[in-house]
Structure 1
């Protein structure tokens, strides 16, 4: 497997996508829609801003980025959900398989083309995302971190969608399964966590009779870790807390309008559960490394599965699918 072979397949895939003639209109529509909605969101924040402490650029950055992530995960399955079975249905996949290209080169080349298209789509959202950076309310390092994680998550979904395309014979079925997988990651993980949390309840009696139930979130926090929203929010460097001195007590106050930071603190509290907050203070309760590692391992497995389905000779052809 060589980089040259991967590049050849990727360039061929990109040329095929460009021949459709609709990509310019689709990218223009995406650019206008996302940036237009982001600016409208900013105007709404400025109109309803009654706080003297928080600046509208902070919630704008977090809110728009979370919205862009969800939209990108909904768009991404269409980029690679039919890259394998679509070519097989059209009878063009065999022309690649009879060349000296290896199955790994074909799989990675097609993935690179789909992932690259997704990254271009992400770049089109930069004007509205970098506005808070230009204003100085969001540091460039924080912006780079969240954009890098978002790009990796797009690649994960591309790899999973491509694997469904390699496993299933019909493109419409593979795209549907890709959307179901994204739904499970986004909405299924909180549901499973909520069910598992109820099972961790521990009854503790009180001195005066009766008792109360304590739920141990530290036992099941890992069920939420693969969620792309959780990974993104927890990976983003949080805004610094402000210290308020009240008598002899120092109170730490988090920025109240930072969606990413609020979600990150909530997740780290869930991981801590009833344990002391010392690890939280030193950043040892981070959730995103575990979640991102799981997602990347899932993507790696998807690529291996895709390559295995591209091996030749092919002894069994799905019914109704031509080879060439």
Structure 2
């Protein structure tokens, strides 16, 4: 959830800005939200007219918040990432990158920058107020029984220990990248094929998908994973890739699949918890 809060509350109509003049810097269009002394470079020919808002009440936006440890320098980089992730991506954050993979949590952030090269400290206080207000509102409506039923910290830390022990390559990164290339109807011809439908409904069956490099097997595979997850079929996946040495071996695949089993299958979780030992090397268990 992403909130935008205006500085003051007012019931009077606010006129639109005089103009929004993106400037050209290193080939990037820097979107200017309002004219200040900090925005001195702009081209009048690139004016973008913005509609006025009827009031200063908070606006609430729902969508995906992308998390990563790379800097989004300008609007070109930002728009490229958004194109890969789809139009549902609202914004990007860095501080919580990777946290939710191993530590179940909700990240509440106030967003005030439009790119890392386009900052203004005057916006930061408003973003901090929004984050604090939303966190307080969330805590006020949380059911106490749901908190009691939540995983205890020792269980969460146990998952972190298993993750560190298995040290699995992250197959979800490849899956998300491939899924970002989906368009409406991508792979539907395959999902409707008799071969796929027979494989999906037949226990202990195999389906071999082959093709030349670059023909779209990875994107099609992500379509299959999405389809299986949508109907509630437990699905494990792994991508072998030449760009990551950890994803080029059978050992890497087994580590990744074991971690996926641990996260989604109670029986596998209990078994791995039983055999886990800080002094035991996982390599000795997965090699014949």
Relative to its length, the structure with more helix (as a share) is: 1
Scaled by the length of structure 2, the TM-score of the pair is: 0.24
Structure showing greater relative contact order (alpha-carbon pairs closer than 8 Å, 6 or more residues apart): 1
